[in-house]
Amino acid sequence: MKSVRRILVVLVATILPLTSVSFARDGIDASPFAPVVADLLTAFFATETTCDGLADIDELCFVVPAAGASYLAQQLERVVLEHRPAGLSLGEWRAANGVWAVELEFGDARRGTLEIYLAEVSDAVVRGVMRYLPAVR
């Protein structure tokens, strides 16, 4: 009986962290920005990480070793150009306290916006967040 309990504890401890990542990502995967997010993660050579934010916000966190924020900004602009035929546009870059931020939107923003935040946390390591904000109707 103890072995069954031990197996259940191990299973729960293993699966629970994975579900928090998938719940947070479900909203982004169902959004119009899903292909853009996938292309950005590939272009950045990013690894998804867990987000420490609120559970009701559709966001995806990632880390990129061996890169700087300026390199990721160039890759982001390249991906936006690839999606421009679908109406994707890039807002103005903003910076405060070492964090770079930009918004992406399709056409008139009726499909919401995708906010992207990039922060260099140490030599050649960037942490980022992509947050989907649905349009307010």
Alpha helices (H) in the chain, listed in sequence order: 2-29, 34-44, 69-83
DSSP, collapsed to helix, strand or coil, labels residue 55 as coil
Cα–Cα distance, 54 to 44 (Å, whole number) = 25
Other CB atoms within a 10 A radius of the CB of residue 71 amount to: 14
Q: Tens of pLDDT along 39-89? A: 999 999 999 999 886 666 789 999 999 888 899 999 999 999 999 999 999
- What is the pLDDT, as a whole number, of residue 61? 95
Q: Report all structural domains of the chain as residue ranges with CATH numbers, in order of start.
A: 2-133 (3.30.310)
pLDDT(129) > 60: yes
pLDDT(111) > 70: yes
